[in-house]
Amino acid sequence: VAVCLNNLAMLLQATNRIEEAEPLMRQALEINLAAFGEQHPNVAIDLNNLAQVLQDTNRIEEAEPLMRRSLEILDTFRRQTGHEHPYFQQANENYQALQRAMRSNEPD
């Protein structure tokens, strides 16, 4: 169910229906948290997806801790398994883009 909610939310986001996407992403995150716990890579992906929606709605300060937490979970996965999670690069690129957006929003 969480995967379907996330996929639908991503479709809504891609078609510029972001306000409809956010609650679905939050629901997917809640389901995966309950099913897998806070350290699971699926939770990291959900956090990153939700952060992307927040960034798209100019809520960068809300997005940053979610993206950071996503990377922490994926880094823990790497340390525990000895393998980088396939989503790590994407999450890292998203975080770097968010950092650039935060710097560009700072007053001169």
The predicted-structure confidence for 22-57, as pLDDT tens digits, reads as follows 999 999 999 999 999 999 999 999 999 999 999 999
Instruction: Give me the number of domains the chain comprises.
Output: 1
Q: How far apart are CA 56 and CA 50, in angstroms?
A: 10
Report the pLDDT value the prediction gives residue 106, as an integer from 0 to 100. 74
- 102 and 64 Cβ atoms separated by less than 8 Å: yes
Q: How far apart are CA 107 and CA 34, in angstroms?
A: 40
Q: How far apart are CA 95 and CA 66, in angstroms?
A: 10
The pair of three-digit structure tokens given for residue 94, joined into one six-digit string: 């998203």
Task: Output the domain CATH number for residue 13.
Answer: 1.25.40.10
Q: What is the pTM of this model?
A: 0.92
Domain that holds residue 6: 2-105
Q: How far apart are CA 17 and CA 64, in angstroms?
A: 22
